[in-house]
Amino acid sequence: MMDRLSFSIFAIAQLVTHAFVPATFPHLGVRRATGLRMCSSPADEGMSRGEVLRSVAAACVTGSTAWSTTAVGVSAKAPAPVMKLPDDDSAKPALRSGGEGSIPPFTVLPSGVQITDIVAGDGPVADTGKGVTLKWVMRRSNGYYVSSSEEGGGEPFIYRVGDAKRAIKGLDDGIRGMKSGGTRRIVVPPELGYVEGCKDGNPGPIPMGLGPKQQINTRNKEPLTFEVKLTKVR
């Protein structure tokens, strides 16, 4: 809408320039400009003022798309969202693993799940049988955003560690040993992910909306990456 409004103002300015400046100030010349045909006066090109107006109007219509995309810089592709936990506590560099600003290499668990701590927690540990509260972000293997706990009202994922009916095995394996307050990146292989499908009632976390669920269901041979923040252990 703003592009069209800006171009309309631009076009009106050109019409005024060509229709009235030569008539009122004949000693002033009007030069050529990129994208629109302009002349010093109607006589210079053998055109009547009406023909000039029609020519400019036609140029406005045919040139509007090109002008708006080049002048305003409209991108043909929207960039993928930057993936980080919405409430990632990066304000605690003293707790960041490996020193400020560094993230250690992934550790491969016996199950095949890969983990690395972005922020080391300092609270109770997530062990089997403990109730845990997680905030999470889910990505595909190419880094493309799928969903997060911030959608649908920001409800966290709550379950008891070891409960296979509530959590996919890869995520359950990945959060074990985390301390409350920590943030961990977990890569879940497809055989430990949504093997029962991604739909309400199945092991989760289940994203909100049909689109994210379909992304998972139609790409069930891809690993998934989670960034989870363990907010509570009880």
Judgement on whether residues 54 and 138 belong to the same structural domain of the protein: no
**Banded pLDDT at 24 (limits 50, 70, 90):** very low
Residue 218 within any structural domain of the chain: yes
Buried b (16+ CB within 10 A) or exposed e, 100-133: eeeeeeeeebeeebbbebbbbbeebebeeebebb
Do 229 and 133 fall into the same domain? Answer: yes
Q: How many domains does the chain have?
A: 2
- Tell me whether residue 139 is in a domain: yes
Query: In this structure, what DSSP letter does residue 102 have?
Result: -
Tell whether 112 and 40 lie within a shared domain: no
Whole-number pLDDT of residue 45: 46
In a 3-state reduction of DSSP, which class is residue 11? helix
The pTM score is: 0.60
Query: Would you state the structure tokens that stand for residue 160, as one six-digit string?
Result: 């008891």
Residue 145 in any domain: the answer is yes
List C-alpha distances in Å: 13 to 10, 21, 25, 180. Answer: 5, 11, 16, 62
Per-residue model confidence (pLDDT) at position 153? 80
Could you list the residue range(s) of the whole structural domain that residue 26 is in?
2-72
CA-to-CA dists, residue 233 to 132, 133, 180, 185, 220, angstroms: 5, 7, 6, 18, 30
Average pLDDT over residues 12-29: 46
Closest CA to 21 of 34, 38, 6: 38
Q: Are residues 225 and 174 in the same domain?
A: yes
| pLDDT tens string 149-187 | 999 788 999 999 999 999 999 999 999 999 999 999 999
Contacts of 218 (CB under 8 A, 6+ apart): none
How many percent of the chain have pLDDT more than 90? 53
Whose CA is closest to 228, among 110, 112, 127, 132? 132
User: Is residue 85 assigned to a domain?
Assistant: no
Q: Is residue 77 part of a domain?
A: no
Q: Same domain for 9 and 66?
A: yes
d(CA 98, CA 86) in angstroms, rounded, equals 22
The residue out of 42, 72, 102 marking a domain boundary is 72
Residue 73: pLDDT band by 50, 70, 90 thresholds? very low
Mean pLDDT over 74-103 rounds to: 43
pLDDT over 70 for what percent of the chain? 56
Same domain, residue pair 68 and 103: no
113 & 68 share domain: no
Is 176 part of any domain? yes
Spell out the alpha helix ranges (H) of the chain: 2-24, 49-72, 169-175, 210-217
